[in-house]
Structure 1
Amino acid sequence: MTCFEQVEETSGFESLDSAVESYLSELSSSVPDSTFWSHQTVITKLREWISEPSSSEAWLESHQLCQFVEDLAENTAQDITTICGHINTLINFQSFIHQEDPIILKARLLLEVESSSILVYGEIGKHILGISTEVNFQNLSDRLSPLVTYFRERQFGTRGHAYVELILDTCSRPGCVRNLELEDFNSDNDTVTISIPETHLVSSAGLVTQRVANISPETSEALEEFITYGRKEPTAATNRPLLTTSHGRASESTLRREVKQASGNADEYPHVSTPLPHDQVSCVVPSEIWQYSILQHLEGQ
């Protein structure tokens, strides 16, 4: 099961009303009044619109949210920025119900929006994910493929390799992967525990702060190799970061430089071929790897 497949489990709440009541109660004591009232307004409209699910149905699935947003777009004079603000509110509520990462839920919603005759897929994607869904996916894939092949064949188990594979497998932003602790990796069941950034309301309010993501056996093997032979134990650190230098957690610039350097080396690696002309090949950066991981699923790959 990938991180973008639809939620199938039922909610732990007795009813949708109880979920709404619990969520708004939690928000009322942890966010500013203006934020609370705006969330209450949108969620109350959703509750009035949506049918109470039966005990066997999953609650608040992406297709239901998409239909509600379509209704808002058709029957109100709100602009795209306002509509996307409502989507962010609804995604936080959905995240609370399913205890899931808002980024994953946004991507699932976009899969529904893509087939909508009312909502503009490109505009919604840019506003709620912060990436352009109009990027040439094949071009990005052609640029990334040599880097991944180079790491797997020539730099297996290095810090850079672990970093790239974790972004790809977990669909996590580079900063979330950089912030992983050693204990977040579970080699017994091939998972990592990813922290959810506090830029999401559910995280800043302490309601959904992490998720457990599956990784491939190959990525798990690369991580074990890195931890055993490549990871440096920091000399002065109060925690145990996964991706380290001898001084502590590897910086964003260090990891970015490592990826760019490997990307350049991959272009000269004889076992790697790319269909792109040489003058169209440029070094890959971590943000593009994350963008690819999202687009890969939106493209149905």
Structure 2
Amino acid sequence: MTCFEQVEGTSDSFESLDSAAESYLSELSSSAPDSTFWSHQTVITKLREWIPEPSSSEAWLESHQLCRFVEYLAENTAQDITTICGHMNSLINFQSFIHQEDPNILKAILLSEIKSSDVIDYSEIDEHILGISTGADIQSLSDRISSLVTYLRERQFGTRVHVYVELILDTCSQAGCVRNLELENANSDNGTIVISIPETHLVSKAGLVTQRVANISPETSEALEEFIAYERKKPTEISDNPLLTTSHGRASESTLRREVKQASERAEEYPGVASPHTRHQTSCVVPSEIWQYSILQFLEGQ
């Protein structure tokens, strides 16, 4: 899953974790509601009290450290799991600020650490943190989405729906973020694409982490080049420059959703593509399931 490569690492933006915390809280104090600021300050203060004097190699907040800290909270406080999940979301935003990474990706990495925890019941927190249940039938999702992708590559290569599906899978981005891509966000030459961070995350709403650069596969780069050269419609009634267009402007959420469902219906009957498990199913793939699958596939591989 290319979007997860080299997510974490030492940042040279701050001298220490303390300086990162001070900078982060200073930014929040002027951009977030008081209640939000105080809740973040409380849990970050607890984190700093818990982490010993860091060596240079331990000065940056990594997911294994967050996992141990969350275990500490679970064992040494009387807080319920909902409160602890709230603390986790606060800490993920702080970690996102340090690493300039998508909070959803950092959430998935943290959950992969927590999967092996003897202290925290993973099944109690996954949906609270990611907004999806990791108890979903990944084999069923894999069968249906693999059939869809194979069909698109063989029969609809370089079309709008093909690029849309491949970009969700490659970048592990929610469907809305892919829909909102601008043409200039895509760089098929070096296999990257600039993805926006949803404002549902505090760091994005506060203007602290608003985008990230994600890797895409050579196959997706090729499909993207094909789409831009031959399939993309130049909009006539819009001032910006969206990647996924209709003749009038940016493709709507309902249009893209309908195209994915229609393609998945065709994939179910396409000779040589559909598996015995997917053929004649009535459950079509929708964009949110593609994103869910990309996250589950990552978690499954940890």
- Counterpart of 2:244 in structure 1: which amino acid? L
User: What displacement does 1:122 show?
Assistant: 1.8
- Counterpart of 1:287 in structure 2: which amino acid? S
**Structure 1 residue aligned with 2:211:** 210
Distance across 1 between alignment mates of 2:108 and 2:278: 32
Task: Please say if 1:40 is aligned against 2:57.
Answer: no
User: What displacement does 1:281 show?
Assistant: 5.2
Deviations 1:206-265 (A, max 9, x none): 000000000001101101100111101110111000000011000000000000000001
Superposed counterparts of 1:181-260, under 5 Å: 181-260=182-261
- Whether the 8 Å CA contact 1:10–1:56 is kept in 2: the answer is no
Deviations 1:134-184 (A, max 9, x none): 011111101111100000001000000000000000000000000000000
Using a 3 Å threshold, how does the CA distance of structure 1 residues 57 and 43 change in structure 2: closer, same or farther? closer
User: What displacement does 1:56 show?
Assistant: 3.5
User: What displacement does 1:57 show?
Assistant: 4.1
SS of structure 2 residue aligned to 1:219: helix
- Compute the TM-score of the two structures, normalised by the length of structure 1: 0.97
- Whether the 8 Å CA contact 1:142–1:275 is kept in 2: the answer is no
Distance across 2 between alignment mates of 1:137 and 1:281: 17
After alignment, is 44-53 or 79-88 more displaced?
44-53
- Counterpart of 1:186 in structure 2: which amino acid? N
- Whether the 8 Å CA contact 2:144–2:278 is kept in 1: the answer is no
- Whether the 8 Å CA contact 1:13–1:19 is kept in 2: the answer is yes
- Whether the 8 Å CA contact 1:4–1:107 is kept in 2: the answer is no
For structure 1, the 5+ residue unaligned runs are: none
**Structure 2 residue aligned with 1:261:** 262
User: What displacement does 1:15 show?
Assistant: 1.2
After alignment, is 2-11 or 146-155 more displaced?
2-11
Superposed counterparts of 1:279-294, under 5 Å: 280=281, 282-294=283-295
Superposed counterparts of 1:3-152, under 5 Å: 3-5=3-5, 7-57=8-58, 59-152=60-153
SS of structure 1 residue aligned to 2:222: helix
User: What displacement does 1:25 show?
Assistant: 0.4
Deviations 1:102-129 (A, max 9, x none): 0010000000010001111122110010
Distance across 1 between alignment mates of 2:83 and 2:244: 39
Using a 3 Å threshold, how does the CA distance of structure 1 residues 52 and 234 change in structure 2: closer, same or farther? farther
User: What displacement does 1:54 show?
Assistant: 2.4
After alignment, is 18-27 or 52-61 more displaced?
52-61
User: What displacement does 1:16 show?
Assistant: 1.2
- Counterpart of 2:136 in structure 1: which amino acid? V
- Whether the 8 Å CA contact 1:177–1:194 is kept in 2: the answer is yes
SS of structure 1 residue aligned to 2:56: coil
Distance across 2 between alignment mates of 1:275 and 1:23: 52
- Counterpart of 2:45 in structure 1: which amino acid? T
- Counterpart of 1:139 in structure 2: which amino acid? S
**Structure 1 residue aligned with 2:2:** 2
After alignment, is 185-194 or 172-181 more displaced?
185-194
Distance across 2 between alignment mates of 1:117 and 1:259: 40
For structure 2, the 5+ residue unaligned runs are: none
- Whether the 8 Å CA contact 1:16–1:52 is kept in 2: the answer is no
Superposed counterparts of 1:149-160, under 5 Å: 149-160=150-161
SS of structure 2 residue aligned to 1:3: helix
- Whether the 8 Å CA contact 1:10–1:58 is kept in 2: the answer is no
